[in-house]
Amino acid sequence: MSTSLLVVLLIGVVAWLGASLGLASLFGVFLPYVAVIIFIAGVVWRMVYWSKSPVPFAIPTTGGQQASLEWIKQASLDNPSTKWGVVKRMFLEVFFFRSLFRNTYAEVREDGPRIVYFSSKWLWCFALLFHYCFLLVFIRHFRFFIDPVPACITFIEAVDGVLQIGAPRLYLTGVLLLTALLFLLGRRLFNERLRYLSLMNDYFPLLLIIALVLSGMSLRYFIKTDIASVKAFTMGLVTFQPVGAEVTKNIGSLFFVHLTYLSVLLMYFPFSKLMHAPGVFFSPTRNLPNNTRAVHHENPWNDRNAPFTTYAEYEDTFRDVMVEAGLPVEKQPDAGDKE
């Protein structure tokens, strides 16, 4: 945790100093371009790496009643037997975190002794909140990338700012995003089980995103910067015509800190657990139908001619006792074998 915090702070300080020392184009232009390239190439590279290995066996985790006799109701969402069923299962998994929704918390008590199961939807709730708010905040940022700003984005902003607190108006998603992040961090710090298994690999992305959000919020609410210049700057980036120092000098260093955090996140993504996002689509315990008794599933490295003990070998070993026990045999024992 502390190492991750240090690294994240360091990234911020370096970006701040860099931007202040006139290296704005390094942190504002070069780095983002590199980051996007690494991100895209890295994600594709990892997905190709996964795809290179076959799926030898169809091993869906069945979460309910199978399709069997027609009068028995199949749990078609949790134990699909068709491709369409799998699409529905994956949809619920990806958009509503259905498996996480099942979560319980088990506690062993020494009275009895007994186990008590508590419904535990907190992780599900905050994980969902985090992902959706992150998505909305991301979409909101399109106002900086598209000119003129599309109506749907203006609409999202209007809904997001519905509380009408402060000027500029407080965005709900930003606050919820930060809350969710703090919850996710808090459980790693205060839950004994989580604390024991958490690695730098877990703290670093969390703290990085928190830093990204905090720097973004500061830009909006506290250390305001010249929005028109920012927009000119980002438009330059997306149209591949980066603007020069005449614009960047109007933009505060904090903006470059924000942009650097984003760039680091993008570059870190393909090499980290964040790959769970594309990964979930590849998961053979979720993305296959449970129809392996009805439809053949082929394993490319299956050895058709692998040896096993054949009946003939078996009978050769046991022929005499088999005959004695009155079992039918393929080959009668040789007369010579008998006394």
Decide: is 314 part of the binding site for another protein (CB under 8 A): yes
Q: Determine, following the binding rule CB under 8 A, whether residue 6 of this chain makes contact with another protein.
A: no
Rounded to a whole number of angstroms, the minimum distance from the CB of residue 91 to another protein is 14
Nearer to another protein, 128 or 172 (CB): 128
Min dist CB 331 to another protein, Å, is: 13
Binding of residue 190 to another protein (CB under 8 A): no
| Separate counts of helices (H) and strands (E) for the chain | 15, 2
Binder of another protein out of 325, 331, 332, 338 (CB under 8 A): 325
Q: How far apart are CA 317 and CA 277, in angstroms?
A: 56
Residue numbers 106-145 binding another protein by CB under 8 A: 106, 108, 110, 112-115, 117, 123, 127
| Residues within window 44-83 making contact with another protein, judged by CB under 8 A | 46, 49-69, 71-73, 75, 78-79, 81
Give the dihedral of Cα atoms 136, 141, 145, 150; nearest 10 deg. Answer: 60
On whether the CB atoms of residues 118 and 107 are closer than 8 A, the answer is: yes
Distance between CA atoms of residues 156 and 82, nearest Å: 37
Total interface residues for another protein by CB under 8 A: 102
Burial of 101 (0-12, 13-18, 19+ CB in 10 A): middle
> Which residues 212-271 are close enough to bind another protein by CB under 8 A?
271
Query: Whose Cβ is closer to another protein: residue 296's or residue 338's?
Result: 296
Of 147-155, 187-195, 241-249, 257-265, the window that binds another protein (rule: CB under 8 A) is 187-195
How far apart CA 211 and CA 178 sit, in angstroms, is 10
Which one among 147, 316, 324, 337 touches another protein, defined by CB under 8 A?
A: 324
Backbone angles phi, psi at 111, to 5 degrees: -75, 125
Whether 226 and 250 have beta carbons less than 8 Å apart is answered as yes
